[in-house]
Amino acid sequence: MHDRLPPRTLPVVYVAAAHVSLALAFLLVALEPWRFMGFFYHPKMVAVVHLVTLGWITGTTLGLSYVAGPLALRMPVRANGWDAVACGLFLVGASGAITHFWLGEYGPVAWAGAMILPALAIVAVRIVRALRAAGAPLPVRLHVGVAYGNLLLAAALAIHLALRKASTGAVPLPHVYAHVHLAAAGWATLMVMGMGHRLLAMLFPAAPPGDRTAWASLALFEIGLLGLTGALMADGPAWPFALLLALGLAVFLGAVVRMRFRPRPPPAKLKRPDFGVLRVALALLCLVAACGFGLCLAFTPRAETRRRHGLRRPWSFGFPLPDDRRRGDASPAHVRVRAGSRAVGPCGAPLLPA
């Protein structure tokens, strides 16, 4: 039983650093909001996005894996020296990557990623080994293990993209989208689904979903995710895999709805309203909205999307084309940056101060 007690210091370090990262992201946007208007793919925006995704979301999830794992999945996790090394590598690598994103230096970003990847691998190996002895059902444990596998794939792809950007000056934007989906869907969302099978049952309280539901959500979601990633990397049709991914998410959300409307008797001291449940409901509604937007984009004909954004090639969105480099244009349809002038949007409105 003592082996299932979470470590004390390590999760606090991860979560404290994650809060600093989130606060810095808010501060940067508040101080210079004009930097984050207009076209979204530029170094400053990428840096702030990684403050949220890498610093806040991934840092928090890594730290809380040492807490939620023992409590929700009944798995033994005892922090040791390797966990401290992984934490140090992650914090140094993440800060280096975000700093060099802000500076627009993608070669050092790749080197920083080379520090983050082994840190993630150490934590993944530690968690997967602990999952083998966990008391939770196998499909629930697999959600967590597969999520860590997706995280490693996203990190490896990020290093590849940074090296390519540093050497060629351009990266196919669908490849960036593949990295985004591996990280946001394959890592963060799948972890929510895996832990949610147990934690939401404790929160409501209710009986946890059956194994069939967990198997179905995992299979549909992961097949759709890997297929979507491959389709984006190969510039192929993505809508069949986006639909599979959405179906996997729908299976999980259906299980959550059943848990909510088939509750067990709550504790006598439970306060009403339960703000924890309200926050979960709001987060899941946002997840449904994001999935709906994604499906709309997946089913939009590619030719129509390119016509709306003025794209001449499927990979040119947001990256200087040969003739655009000579003119100084960073993105043909959204932001024009010419020597000695201010950046303006498609309607001529200034996006940057003079």
Q: Name the burial class of residue 128, with classes exposed (0-12), middle (13-18) and buried (19+) by CB atoms within 10 angstroms of its CB.
A: middle
d(C-alpha 3, C-alpha 51), whole Å: 33
My answer on whether omega of the bond before 205 falls inside 30° of 0, hence cis, is: yes
The separation between CA 112 and the C-alpha centre of its own chain, rounded to angstroms, equals 18
pLDDT at 266 over 80: no
Residues with Cβ within 8 Å of residue 288, at least 6 apart in sequence: 253
Query: How much is the average pLDDT of 71-82?
Result: 87
Whether 123 and 82 have beta carbons less than 8 Å apart is answered as no
* pTM (two decimals): 0.83
| pLDDT surpasses 60 at 309 | no
pLDDT band at 20 (very low <50, low <70, confident <90, very high): very high
**pLDDT tens, 171-198?**
988 999 999 999 999 999 999 999 999 8
Q: Return the percentage of the chain with pLDDT > 70, whole number.
A: 83
Q: Tell me the CA distances in angstroms from 123 to 2, 103, 291, one per residue in order.
A: 21, 29, 29
Per-residue confidence (pLDDT) for residue 250, from 0 to 100: 96
Instruction: Examine the pLDDT at 311 and tell me if it is beyond 80.
Output: no
| pLDDT score, position 106 | 93
**303: pLDDT strictly greater than 90:** no
Tokens representing 36 are 């984050």
Q: What is the pLDDT of residue 4?
A: 59
Q: For 320-338, what is the HEC assignment? A: CCHHHHHHCCCECCCEECC
The alpha helices in the chain, defined as continuous H runs, are 9-31, 43-50, 59-68, 81-103, 106-132, 138-168, 173-181, 190-203, 211-234, 239-261, 275-299, 302-309, 322-327
